[in-house]
Structure 1
Amino acid sequence: MSRLGALLVQRLRRDWLQLTLWIAGTVALALSGFAGVAEAYGTEQDRLGILAAVMANPVILLFRGLPSGPDRSAFVVFLLFPFLAMMAAFMSAFLAVRHTRGDEEAGRLELIDATPAGRWMPTVATLVHGVLANAVLGILVALSLLAGGAETEGSLLVGFAAAATGLVFLGLGMLSAQLMRTSRAANSLTVWILLSTFVLAGVGNALGTPSDDLTHMESSWLAWTSPFGWAENTRAYDENLWWPALLCIGAFLVLTAGAFALQAGRDQGAGIVAERRGRANARAGLASTTALVSRLSAPSTIGWIVGALVAGALSTALGSVVDQIGGENPAIADVLTSLAAGSDLQQSVIVVFFMMIGLLAACAAVQTVARARQEETHGTAEPVLATPTARVRWLADFLIAGVVAVALTCAGGVAGAALGAIGSDAASELIRSAAVAAAGQVVAASVFLVLTALVFTVAPRLTIPLGWTLLVVAIVIGLFGPLLGLSDEVTQTLSPFAVTPQLDGDTIDLRGLPWLLLAVVAGGAASLGLMRRRELAAAG
């Protein structure tokens, strides 16, 4: 077997489960889209009503794609494509960093460099591995759309555009791995750019120009600064433009060339961006392990809080606008109330936005526990546990930091809602609705904190892939359940975000709060109990 082939086989053996989960989840979302749209928006008149509402309130495009007509296939792409591309992007970014900076940080690349494979072959293998993974994802997405009855060229274009977006972030992940000295920093840089470009595409679409018949939106220049904007402007099942997706291929080639150029100019184990020097002596406040874990988690937590602050401000600032539009066009009211299960439209808007804030809080929770796994595999947990600190106390510190991160993220959403409600006649009522929604999302997000902690104690190697996969499944079901035709029972069973308390007029409907609290308490206690008997693992 060739050296490249041997490295590819080794990567596939390590990644088969993670890649299967990412690709299967993306394909399942695409496959279920046709059935859901056929059930929820079976007639062209239904789809025209939604598109008209979107043109009247383009802010909805922050969370959807680019409208390209009322055709069923084009409507599916409008609803789902940004998230298909995002899943391909996350898969590719994590793959790139894992097999470059992650392996280098763990000492694996140094061992491979000492073999006839040399220094460059592992990077080439990572490149080929990522391209193959995206090719499989794109082909299966196209086949799933064809199975739903979509046209051939549009289906192939959707698969190609999703894979091309993934390739952009494969290149970006490889470049970040050369810039940053740790895999944690490389992943953070890549994810922040990914999320920023996703938002840029949404804002660029929202600032675009609607067509006279209110069925199409022409993106503004801002969307063309984002690979997500390029992919969305392929307009599958409408104009079927291939050249915008080729911009993604061009960006991928440039980023990959940059990664190889930077690798040629640095030493093994070093990064282009120099690390900031730490203090010679730690502050007195860092004397406990709880303080240490909080310090390690602070930078990422601040980022989630900022995102929640923006979403919270939009939830109340747009409430009155959507209420007015909902009165003029019942289609948008039906969408929001079906997503939020609410009777009042303004409250429904707040619930929908705070569901997204809950998702951000859950991301903060999963990331905090994933950091415990990284501390373990990087060898930095061992010196801490060599002190009188017990393993249960060590994990409990990460759970405490996770709960605090969740609470602060949701509190940031409430603060944003208060800012957005300034000047509103119903400011106090809007803030009260936001506070109730935020409290429920704290509990829902904490479910994923304890779930990830359980995985960490039972199957440590699956902590990061399975923790994020469980969250992605809940996100898809929570955001798309009603649109995909899933029953309320299925949605509420599989997504904690769908059963949080909310206002029903002047009263608070607790809905699934008791069960969520029970799950959090039981999961936390079980993870701490199991940690008593788990040995520390030094290898990832």
Structure 2
Amino acid sequence: MNRVRVILGQRLRRDWLQLTLWIGSTVLLAFAGFAGVAEAYGTEQDRSGILAAVMANPVILLFRGLPSGTDSSAFVVFLLFPWLAIMAAFMSAFLAVRHTRGDEEAGRVELVDATPAGRWTPTAATLVHGTLANVVLGVLVAAAFLAGGAAAQGSWLVGTATAVVGLVFLGLGMLSAQLMRTSRGANSLTVWVLVATFVVSGIGNALGTPSDDLTRMESSWLTWTSAFGWAENTRAFDENLWWPVLLCVAAFVVLTAAALALQSVRDLGESIVAERLGRASARAGLASTTALVLRLSAPSTIGWMVGGLLTGALSTSLGGVVDQIGGENPAIAEVLTSLAAEGDLEQAVVVVFFTMAGLLAACAAVQTVARARQEEAHGTAEQVLATPVHRVRWLLGFVGVGFVAIVLTCSAALGGAALGGAALGGAALGGAALGAAAGDNAAKLVEAAAVATAGQVVAATVFLVLTALVFTVAPRLTIPLGWALVVAAIMLGLFGPLLGVSESLTDLSPFAVAPELDGDTVDVRGLWWLVLTICVGGAASVVFMRRRELAAAG
């Protein structure tokens, strides 16, 4: 136990800043949610109107929680809980991989194994470390709800649900670290399972059954295949169900047990999924550093493209869900009619989905540039730069491939939107007039998607050059600060209006000011300052890269 305490103390000194940022931003979102709801949706009538609109357009449930009544606290949970849970999940997953496969790659685990601590002490320390981080997060989230005036039982249930979702992905991260040979592969596997289960939970909610008064939604069976869905179905401040929490705890136990079992049968440095052997000699296409970066980045880029394709397809194809639910519930049909009179709701939904596509593209860009930092820290960059390759040319290879990843991800989203639009038009071919109207509507949605695609390419490129700039100025901050910029921008863009943030501050998010289609015209919005940021950031990166030396891991 004393040995675990020693390693745990070292981990806490190493991770205190990252954990403070993750936990602090999550708790701040929970605390600020009450003030935002009180200001924007202060009356029960306001909240009922929003929930009715959600039932009429359940696509919104892909980005929000499970509606559970008009109580102000339950409404806050509906708006914010999925994002509290996903931040806990990311924190836990990265922590697990960093201190298992990451430390193994860096040689730290081998050094500890050679001491009386043995092989299992670092693993035990990782479990204790991740569990404590989630407990602290859960307690502070509950305290934030209590400080906002929420009921005690519901507050503690929200905090507990947030923490146990984090524990599930702590276990998943530890399992992925046993399966994959590199920390990059383990993180990729964990993140894709995380994103997939988050989306599955949202789709399951969107396909659920609304109540007659349009204030509650019963999840479909699909939601129950996701840890996020289990946590949402605790229905804090409504039914206050504790038993779904046990499902998350059981999943954590099973995943952790599987990770420990696999660790006991593999050698240090090896993995369950064998690493594919490389060719004896490189192809001619790998003769340049840019080609090498492209080859290394191809698997992750393909993954982001798949995410973009699915996001784009959902943006235009889920309109049929709205029509179906409206036909089954007359109250929803009335809401649909009133919404149609107020503006083009479907076009707005496309913009929201393509904001998420822009987020995926920005993640692809940050991951590509972060790979430059990983190559530098692992010493492989030094081998490349010992050749006639100039350091600026080497960096521009990562930036160029990052931009290609942005374009491919957003293009995949546009292709998905076109496929979804074709499906939407083809679903109404029963009558000539109806089919023509559906076809015109689908074409309009695809046009909105095309404009949003161009806008999100520009927005994502901002994060590409900013991450490159951080890499040249403060290389050790490349990975944490690059991802923090993306998280901050999406929080401002999606939650700024809800939290009562001023419009000028919200507009600092590139996602919030990317060009989009407004009716029949293109609103350029913040295009020019985005382009200016890209030009200045790119030029500064080149200048600073020419002047700095390689930085070791730290």
Most deviating of 123-132 and 257-266? 257-266
Report the equivalent of 1:37.
37
CA deviations on 1:364-412 (whole Å, 9 max, x unpaired) are 1111111111122222222222211111111111100111111111111
Count of residue pairs brought into register by the alignment: 532
* Match among 314, 335, 348 for residue 329 of structure 1: 335
Structure 2 residue runs without a partner (length 5+): 327-331, 426-438
**Identical positions, percent:** 75
Does 319-328 or 507-516 show the bigger shift?
319-328
For structure 1, list consecutive stretches of 5 or more residues without a partner in the other structure.
338-342
Residue aligning to 1:68: 68
Distance 2:455 2:323 in 1: 23
How many Å separate the matches in 2 of 1:385 and 1:323? 59
CA displacement at 1:533 relative to structure 2: 2.1
Check whether the contact 1:178–1:263 (CA below 8 A) recurs between aligned residues: yes
Structure-2 separation of matches of 1:12 and 1:96? 13
Superposition RMSD in Å: 2.1
Contact 1:376 1:537 in 2 (8 A): yes
Q: Which amino acid aligns with 1:36?
A: G
Distance of 2:271 and 2:240 partners within structure 1: 42
Among 436, 451, 454, the alignment partner of 2:469 is: 454
Paired residues for 1:17-416 under 5 Å: 17-318=17-318, 328-329=334-335, 344-416=344-416
- The farther-off stretch of 161-170 and 403-412 is 403-412
Q: Deviations over 1:435-487 (max 9, x none)?
A: 11111111111111111112212222221111111111111111112222222
Amino acid across the alignment from 1:329: V
Give distance in 2, aligned partners of 1:315 and 1:178. Answer: 36
Counterpart CA distance in 1 for 2:493 and 2:314 is 19
Who is 2:12 aligned against?
Answer: 12
CA distance in structure 2 between the partners assigned to 1:529 and 1:332 by the alignment: 55
Which of 347-356 and 395-404 deviates more? 347-356
Q: How far does the alpha carbon of each residue in 1:262-321 deviate from its partner, in whole angstroms, 9 at most, with x for none?
A: 111111111111111122222211111111111111111111112112222222334687
Query: Cα 1:214–1:506, aligned 2, differ >3 Å: closer, same or farther?
Result: closer
Shift of residue 208, structure 1, vs aligned partner? 2.0
| Secondary structure, aligned partner of 2:125 | helix
CA-to-partner distance for each residue in 1:165-202, whole Å, 9 max, x for gaps? 00011011111111111101111111111111111211
Q: Does 1:464 align with 2:479?
A: yes
Distance 1:202 1:345, change over 3 A: closer
Residue 534 of structure 1 aligns to which amino acid in structure 2?
R
Is the Cα contact below 8 Å between 2:466 and 2:482 reproduced in 1? yes
Query: 1:268 corresponds to which letter in structure 2?
Result: L
Further displaced range: 91-100 or 43-52: 43-52
Aligned residue among 496, 501, 511 for 2:515? 501
| Alpha-carbon separation, structure 1, partners of 2:187 and 2:232 | 25
- 1:427-446 → structure 2 map (5 Å cutoff): 427-446=442-461
Instruction: Say which SS state the counterpart of residue 498 (structure 2) adopts.
Output: coil
Inter-partner Cα distance in structure 2 for 1:140 and 1:355: 30
Once the two structures are TM-superposed, the CA of residue 160 in structure 1 deviates from its matched residue by 0.5
SS state of the match for residue 369, structure 2? helix
Moved more, 77-86 or 420-429: 420-429
User: 2:436 — aligned with what?
Assistant: none
1:533 aligns with 2:539: no
- Counterparts of 1:332 and 1:4, CA distance in 2: 61
Mean Cα displacement is larger for which, 309-318 or 362-371? 309-318
CA-CA distance at 1:328 after TM superposition: 4.1
Cα pair 1:49 1:329 within 8 Å, conserved: no
Partner deviation per Cα, 1:193-217 (whole Å, 9 max, x = no partner): 1111111211222222222322222
In the alignment, the residues of structure 1 paired with residue 260 and residue 535 of structure 2 have an alpha-carbon distance, to the nearest angstrom, of: 48
Counterpart CA distance in 1 for 2:257 and 2:421 is 48
Where does residue 340 of structure 1 map in the other structure?
A: none
1:117 deviates by 1.2
Q: 1:518 aligns with which of 522, 529, 532?
A: 532
Cα distance change, pair 382–127 in 1 and its aligned pair in 2 (3 A): same
Distance between the aligned counterparts of 2:490 and 2:40, measured in 1?
19
Q: Conserved in 1, the CA contact under 8 Å of 2:306 and 2:412?
A: yes
Does the 8 Å CA contact 2:58/2:322 hold for their aligned counterparts? no
8 Å Cα contact 2:56/2:335 also seen in 1: no
Q: Which runs of 4+ in 1 moved over 6 A?
A: 320-327
2:507 is aligned with 1:492: yes
Change (3 A) 1:443 1:220: same
Inter-partner Cα distance in structure 1 for 2:118 and 2:458: 50
TM-score for the superposition, normalised by structure 2 = 0.92
Contact 1:491 1:498 in 2 (8 A): yes
Aligned-partner residue type, residue 289 of structure 1: T
Q: Return the offset for 1:539.
A: 2.3
Match of 1:498, SS state, is coil
Q: Which moved further from structure 2: 301-310 or 204-213?
A: 204-213
String of CA shifts for 1:88-119, please: whole Å, max 9, x gaps: 00000000000010000011111111112111
Contact in 1 for aligned 2:507/2:513 (Cα 8 Å): yes
Amino acid corresponding to residue 448 of structure 2 in structure 1: S
**Partner of 1:130: helix, strand, or coil?**
helix
Counterparts of 2:273 and 2:518, CA distance in 1: 52
Query: Contact 1:204 / 1:219 at 8 angstroms: preserved in 2?
Result: yes
* CA distance, structure 1, for counterparts of residue 516 and residue 210 of structure 2: 35
Pairwise CA distance, 1:222: 1.7
Once residues 42 and 100 of structure 1 are traced to their aligned partners in structure 2, the CA distance between those partners, rounded to angstroms, is 47
1:327–1:521 CA distance, 2 compared to 1 (3 A): farther
State whether residues 437 and 501 of structure 1, in contact with CA within 8 Å, keep that contact through their aligned partners in structure 2: yes
Matched AA of 1:7: I
- The residue matched to 1:454 in structure 2 has which SS? helix
Q: Quick check: 1:499–1:511 contact (8 Å CA) kept in 2?
A: yes
